Amino acid sequence: MANALILHGTNGSPCAHWFSWLASELKKHGYDDVRVPELPRADRPNRERYWAALQEFPYGPETVIVGHSSGATMALRILELLRPEQRVRCVAAVAPFYRDDGFGCDELVEAPFAWDVMRRQAQEIVVFGSPDDPFVSLEQVEHIAAQLHITPLIRAGSGHFSTDHGGARFRRFPDLLGVLVDSAARSDSSVQREPLNVSTQDVALPEVQVTRATPSDLAVVVDVYSRSFVPMVKGYHPDADAAIFDAGNLTAMWKKLLDVEPVFVARHSPEADPVAILALKYTGRDDIIELAKLFVVPEAQGTGVARAVADFALKFAIEEGFDAMELWTWQISHQSRRFYEKVGFVLADETGISGYPGVRAADDVTVRYVKQLH
């Protein structure tokens, strides 16, 4: 039975920020038992006191534990206290800390952290942090991630992932929900697993043949783009100018790209219909190339095709003598960001705008990712 435990932070409550929303969404995704308890004396978090209130929860292979701030630290500490047979599926720690920087949480962190036990007692651990969190420094989050042998999910502009220090958008947290849904999709409770700190390179990928596109491929390239990118844009930006979806404009854009940039089509076999398209872009620098576009048809999404095509792009860049690959994606495109982070791209301290007509400025912020190739 899939169940979830959501822990609020210091002086928090079960109804604050995104907790109630996440509980409701998890139930929609098939979680039978979702609890958001009010932690005892939350003005002074204490590991033993909290554990006394939480130890009767039915922890098991389909359990997800989510925590925010001191609740995130407690979510990790729960792993130290579970019996081996209570190993859980996933812990998601949002703005966790291991050191009390004046939070009044010394009783929560004074005992040494058993990082090795934590790694054993969860199939997967995810930590979120933000460089502009006014309470939890990025150093704290990165230290925890390093001890757990994972890559932290860094979200610039998110503050403390709360309505108080992150804005009204944190009445919801779709990025976190997506992580938990992805975790459930990967999970198979009938299989005994090692702690999930494994690179996506260890996942079996489908056979995909990637070939350089020619002018004769223009129509199929535009078709894949129209079926994959256009619905995504409409989902994120419902007010975007309809002209950017016009078939004539799309055809003209891709015709220009085919003339000057490396564009590729991916198929499962030479006779099969295309399942993805890839466009790289020369930046004018000898050391870096841009992954400009990578789109997969809806029916092939989630099958490993995107990763197979991304691997091809990285191999192409290496063979061409580049030292790094960069890409830009919308800041609010959390699914795309999680994918590229899994591939090994690292968020750079640089933002821009896409400039699409009709897109609200607040939603048009793009972020840059870079992956070193050597």
Give the start-to-end residue ranges of the domains of the chain: 3-197, 201-372
pLDDT on residue 5: 98
Which uninterrupted H or E stretch holds 295?
strand 288-296
Largest CA distance in the chain: 68
Please give the Cα distance from 317 to 136 (Å, whole number).
Answer: 37
CATH for 201-372 (3.40.50.10130, 1.20.1260.10, 3.40.630.30, 3.40.190.10): 3.40.630.30
**Residues 241/308, Cβ–Cβ less than 8 Å:** no
Instruction: Find the angle CA(139)-CA(122)-CA(114) to the nearest 5 degrees.
Output: 55
Domains 3-197 and 201-372 belong to one CATH topology? no
Listed in sequence order, the DSSP H helices in the chain are 19-28, 47-54, 70-81, 106-109, 115-120, 138-148, 174-186, 218-236, 247-260, 305-319, 334-343
Which uninterrupted H or E stretch holds 59?
none
pLDDT on residue 4: 98
pLDDT on residue 193: 31
Please give the Cα distance from 105 to 96 (Å, whole number).
Answer: 12
Quote the tokens at residue 127: 């930590």
pLDDT on residue 201: 37
pLDDT on residue 268: 92
Q: Which fold has domain 3-197?
A: Rossmann fold (3.40.50)
Please give the Cα distance from 227 to 219 (Å, whole number).
Answer: 12
Q: DSSP character for 319?
A: H
pLDDT on residue 197: 28
pLDDT on residue 184: 78
pLDDT on residue 234: 66
Residue 50, helix vs strand vs coil: helix
Please give the Cα distance from 180 to 64 (Å, whole number).
Answer: 8
Helix and strand tally (H, E) in the chain? Answer: 11, 13
Residue 213, helix vs strand vs coil: coil
Give the residue among 110, 101, 106, 35 at the shortest CA–CA distance from 65.
35
Please give the Cα distance from 311 to 317 (Å, whole number).
Answer: 10
The backbone torsions φ and ψ at residue 293, rounded to the nearest 5 degrees and listed phi first, read -150, 135
pLDDT on residue 92: 97
Quote the tokens at residue 266: 């991916």
pLDDT in tens, the chain (374 residues): 899 999 999 999 999 999 999 999 999 999 999 999 999 999 999 999 999 999 999 999 999 999 999 999 999 999 999 999 999 999 999 999 999 999 999 999 999 999 999 999 999 999 999 989 999 999 999 999 999 998 888 887 889 999 998 778 899 998 898 888 877 766 643 333 332 222 333 335 678 999 999 889 999 999 999 988 877 776 666 666 666 678 898 999 999 988 888 999 999 998 899 999 999 999 888 899 999 999 999 898 888 999 999 999 999 999 889 999 999 998 888 888 989 998 999 999 788 887 767 667 767 788 999 999 98
Please give the Cα distance from 200 to 205 (Å, whole number).
Answer: 9
Q: DSSP character for 240?
A: S
Query: DSSP readout, 60-124?
Result: -TTEEEEEETHHHHHHHHHHHHS-GGG-EEEEEEES--SS-SSSS-HHHHSSPP-HHHHHHTEEE
Q: Which residues make Cβ contacts (< 8 Å) with residue 49, sequence separation at least 6?
A: 40, 41
User: How would you label 123-137 residue by residue, b for 16+ Cβ within 10 Å and e otherwise?
Assistant: bbbbbbbbeebebbe
Quote the tokens at residue 370: 């870079």
Distances (CA, A) of 328 to 225, 346, 366: 17, 11, 6
Please give the Cα distance from 233 to 197 (Å, whole number).
Answer: 32
